[in-house]
Amino acid sequence: MAEKKAFVTGHPIAHSRSPKIHGYWLKQYGIDGSYEAIDVAPDDFASFLKALGDNGFRGGNVTIPHKEAAFAGVARRDDAADAIGAVNTLWFEDGLLWGGNTDGYGFAANLDQYAPGWAVNGPAVVLGAGGASRAVIHALKARGVKDIRIVNRTVARAEELGRHFGAGISAHGADALGELLGDAGLLVNTTSLGMHGNETLAADPGALPDHAIVTDIVYVPLETPLLAAARARGLKTVDGLGMLLHQAVPGFERWFGRKPEVTPELRRMIVADIEG
Ligand code: ATR
């Protein structure tokens, strides 16, 4: 059988860690397949999508700035993509191009691995109301978290997400944070604050109860200022790298026919790359 081919596309794409992740699994499982990074300019994305099947691809990943164009350009979407409003994974099914979104899956699987029981730990406070926040809120809802509090600098964006996702979601400005944390079981940062080169995040985990879990979707650095403060306070913390690794799982399974494992060795390899 012909080599199974997949890709990740973005613009730029050179920084993507996805080829390392999928390359590791292809080797690990001895699969006759390839996974390459392809830089596609926004103007060329629609024709790139149309030519996928003819070029022999089984599917691939889509990242910035193509996630919304992919959402609009596929023939069918899964429920997660519809809820999140963006597509990060493409595959063919019965001759049709499908688009899915695995970011919420990756978020939940990361917490399942490092903080089992997280979904029944109490109300969740989500910092930020952008694309990443949508994926996190979708996952929280899917896992039955009943009280989700979105906190954002621009309250109107949080309110819009509240309307989009419906019951159980409340929207707040940054001033309300201290009060909202008092009985929370989970604090999630979805903003880019705390990423290398950006300002740090002013959220003070001190107000959280002792059983709370704190997680960040930022993974460069692995321990963000928020996670460091939470750890110093004695709280359980989960870094964002596992979300990146786990979000790759469903795509690999669809294109290459085997559900891959997020192993400590894979994690060590990507950590070395980040710290490299
Ligand atoms: P992404 O798709 O990665 O989530 P985004 O849609 O640009 O990116 O959203 C970025 C999030 O980080 C938003 O919640 C943004 O707050 P606003 O909606 O008020 O812009 C938040 N953010 C970015 N820089 C910030 C800052 N300096 N202070 C507070 N919040 C910030």
Segment 51-81, tens digit of pLDDT: 999 999 999 999 999 999 999 999 999 999 9
* Cβ–ligand 1 contact at 154 (below 6 Å): yes
- Which of 97, 16, 10 is CA-nearest to residue 62? 10
- Specify the residue with its C-alpha closest to ligand 1, atom 12: 191
- pTM here? 0.96
Give percent of the chain above pLDDT 70: 100
- Which of 198, 274, 199 is CA-nearest to residue 240? 274
Same domain, 38 and 112: no
Quote the CA–CA distance of 128 and 130 in Å, as a whole number.
6
Count of domains forming the chain:
2
> Per-residue pLDDT averaged across 189-202, rounded?
84
Same domain, 122 and 181: yes
* Cβ–ligand 1 contact at 157 (below 6 Å): yes
Does residue 227 surpass a pLDDT of 70? yes
**Complex ipTM, two decimals?**
0.96
DSSP letters, 6-70, are: EEEEESS-TT-SHHHHHHHHHHHTT-SEEEEEEE--GGGHHHHHHHTTTTTEEEEEE-TTSHHHH
Would you say 94 and 256 are in contact if contact means Cβ atoms under 8 Å apart? no
pLDDT score of 276: 83
Atom index in ligand 1 nearest the CA of residue 134 equals 4
CATH number of the domain at 77, please: 3.40.50.10860
> Per-residue pLDDT averaged across 125-138, rounded?
97
> Per-residue pLDDT averaged across 210-231, rounded?
96
Range of the domain at 226: 104-242
Same domain, 85 and 170: no
* Cβ–ligand 1 contact at 63 (below 6 Å): no
- Read off the pLDDT band of 89 (50, 70, 90): very high
**DSSP class of residue 220?**
S
Does residue 202 surpass a pLDDT of 80? no
Does residue 1 surpass a pLDDT of 70? no
Same domain, 183 and 229: yes
